[in-house]
Amino acid sequence: MAKNTTAFVCNDCGSDFSKWMGQCPDCSAWNTIVEISLGPATRKTAASPRRGGYAGSQSEITTLAEVALQEQPRISTGIGELDRVLGGGLVPGSVILIGGHPGAGKSTLLLQTLCSLSQTQSALYVTGEESLQQVAMRANRLKLPTDKLQMMSETDVEAIGAATQRLQPKLLVVDSIQVMHMAEISSAPGSVSQVRECAAYLTRFAKQTGTVLFLVGHVTKDGSLAGPKVLEHMIDCSILLEGGDDSRFRTLRGQKNRFGAVNELGVFAMTEQGLKEVKNPSAIFLSRDEEISSGSLVTVVWEGTRPLLVEIQALVDDSPFGNPRRVAVGLDQNRLAMLLAVLHRHGGLMVGDKDVFVNVVGGVKVMETSADLSTLLSIVSSFKDRALPRDMVVFGEVGLSGEIRPVPSGQERLFEAAKHGFTKAIVPAANVPKGGVKGMQVIAVKRLADALQHV
């Protein structure tokens, strides 16, 4: 009988070591190395001749110029927002990892997609967390076509591999990767070794056969993907479905994509018939009150390949405590503290003894720096208790010396704001279009003091 061995693996980067260490030498992360149990055939499974190598692997060495170039045909999912996040559709042989909090709608979105695509493509849905009856009840409740979608309830990836070899589906969903296991690995499902080997086995199959593989992944409390970090390196596309229980809207954001733009955003609405795509998300995030109030301002952020209009609200109030609070929802907390320091130094406004709260309406997370100027002006509006015009839009990056830096795609942002009825804009001087924008007054600013004078 072969002796079981153990290894020490870093959860962040996936590197393995012969002994435990407090800090990973490869990624410098602390307390991320865990001990895992390896079965007697674990090392063999990673590159077993019985399973073959990756698709397209050759023994000969060739130059890059001699590689045959052919356009990969994409498969449309029938859902425009999902196609946008994926970069235009599904690429044969690609592996897509979709994560999200429990109840976000991951299984619902994939069930809708596969039920629709199964009418024209062979599709297999493997569920490891729910019974077939539960999935059928959801499909009937959503009134989806279920006559051609093939279902399987299994957690053994080798049994799944045998079934897929027999059926040869073009689309395969595994829900979820954390409950899958291999019999020759002694550790429990969800462990580092199980998730890594199961994902590697399924990825090999997808590359060899040209199957589009969807993997459903769980997330931790802080929103990061559960399991080893090496899982994100194996797959081709990683998307995250975000949305709280208090909101009917869900945002699908691309975090990694080898076939399209990163940070692409898709917006869905959760209804009784499942997730419905929102084709004009700016109209939803701009549902403002009729009464003009201070501390509210609209900015234009760039999400993937399109502009998106969002409202930023700020509240400045007297602090009842000795240590004033700085709270940012949807923005970077550290960047808010930096902007307040710039406002004091180059704007002449002191809010150090007051509580400052900033919120991006609609639950959108703003990742870029184009919202700096609009954030500062909304804080000034609340501090002075003076409302800003409803038809004004503001964007621009603020530097530490008080300069207003240009942002990418400034002209497209202005055109998008003009389409929604905005007639006034304060933007960096380098982003002002030469021909102007029809029906819009564009004000160019170079310093923070210039922007404060205009408002």
> What is the CATH number for 401?
3.30.230.10
Residue 57 falls within a domain, yes or no?
Answer: no
Quick one: pLDDT at residue 370?
95
Cα–Cα distance measured from residue 20 to residue 36, given in angstroms and rounded to the nearest whole number: 11
Whether 115 and 239 map to the same domain: the answer is: yes
Residue 339 falls within a domain, yes or no?
Answer: yes
Q: What are the structure tokens assigned to 404, written together?
A: 């207003």
Whether 275 and 292 map to the same domain: the answer is: no
Residue 226 falls within a domain, yes or no?
Answer: yes
Q: What are the structure tokens assigned to 439, written together?
A: 């029906």
Q: Give just the sign of the alpha carbon dihedral 282, 285, 291, 294.
A: negative
Q: In which domain, by residue range, is 301 found?
A: 284-454
**What CATH number is associated with residue 168?**
3.40.50.300
Whether 245 and 142 map to the same domain: the answer is: yes
Quick one: pLDDT at residue 412?
93
Residue 58 falls within a domain, yes or no?
Answer: no
Whether 4 and 87 map to the same domain: the answer is: no
Whether 14 and 88 map to the same domain: the answer is: no
Whether 291 and 154 map to the same domain: the answer is: no
Total domains in the chain come to 3
- The contacts of residue 300 (CB under 8 Å, 6+ apart) are 307, 308, 309, 370, 393, 395, 413, 414, 416, 417
Whether 238 and 312 map to the same domain: the answer is: no
DSSP state of 75: B
Q: DSSP string covering 151-216, please?
A: EEE--BHHHHHHHHHHH--SEEEEE-GGG-B-TT--SPTTSHHHHHHHHHHHHHHHHHHT-EEEEE
Which H helix or E strand runs over 424?
Answer: strand 424-428
- The contacts of residue 15 (CB under 8 Å, 6+ apart) are 9, 24, 25, 26, 27
Q: Which amino acid is at 22?
A: G
Q: Among the three residues 227, 252, 279, which one is the final residue of a domain in this structure?
A: 279
Give the tens place of pLDDT for each residue, 49-101.
344 444 444 468 889 898 887 777 899 999 999 999 999 999 999 999 999 88
Cα–Cα distances (Å) from 391 to 93, 292, 417, 422, in that order, read: 47, 11, 9, 5
Residue 62 falls within a domain, yes or no?
Answer: no
Quick one: pLDDT at residue 38?
61
Q: Among the three residues 238, 254, 279, which one is the final residue of a domain in this structure?
A: 279
On whether the CB atoms of residues 371 and 416 are closer than 8 A, the answer is no
Quick one: pLDDT at residue 170?
95
Residues of the chain with pLDDT under 70: 1-5, 37-59, 222-223, 226-227, 244-246, 287-289
Whether 265 and 336 map to the same domain: the answer is: no
Give the tens place of pLDDT for each residue, 438-455.
999 999 999 999 999 988
Cα–Cα distance measured from residue 347 to residue 150, given in angstroms and rounded to the nearest whole number: 63
Whether 87 and 232 map to the same domain: the answer is: yes
| Residue 189 CA from chain centroid, whole number | 25
Which H helix or E strand runs over 305?
Answer: none
Quick one: pLDDT at residue 244?
64
Residue 385 falls within a domain, yes or no?
Answer: yes
Whether 97 and 172 map to the same domain: the answer is: yes
Residue 188 falls within a domain, yes or no?
Answer: yes
Q: What are the structure tokens assigned to 160, written together?
A: 């799944």
Name the region of 280 (left: φ>0; alpha: ψ -120 to 50; beta: rest).
beta
Which residue's structure tokens are 């086995």?
201
Q: Among the three residues 279, 301, 325, which one is the final residue of a domain in this structure?
A: 279
Whether 115 and 2 map to the same domain: the answer is: no
Buried residues in 215-242 as b, exposed as e (16+ CB within 10 A): bbbbbeeeeebbbbbbbbebbbbbbbbb
Whether 38 and 175 map to the same domain: the answer is: no
On whether the CB atoms of residues 303 and 370 are closer than 8 A, the answer is no
Q: Which amino acid is at 392?
A: M
Give the tens place of pLDDT for each residue, 202-250.
999 999 999 999 999 988 776 677 667 778 889 999 999 987 666 788 8
Cα–Cα distance measured from residue 112 to residue 146, given in angstroms and rounded to the nearest whole number: 10
Quick one: pLDDT at residue 39?
55
Residue 56 falls within a domain, yes or no?
Answer: no
Q: Which amino acid is at 203?
A: T
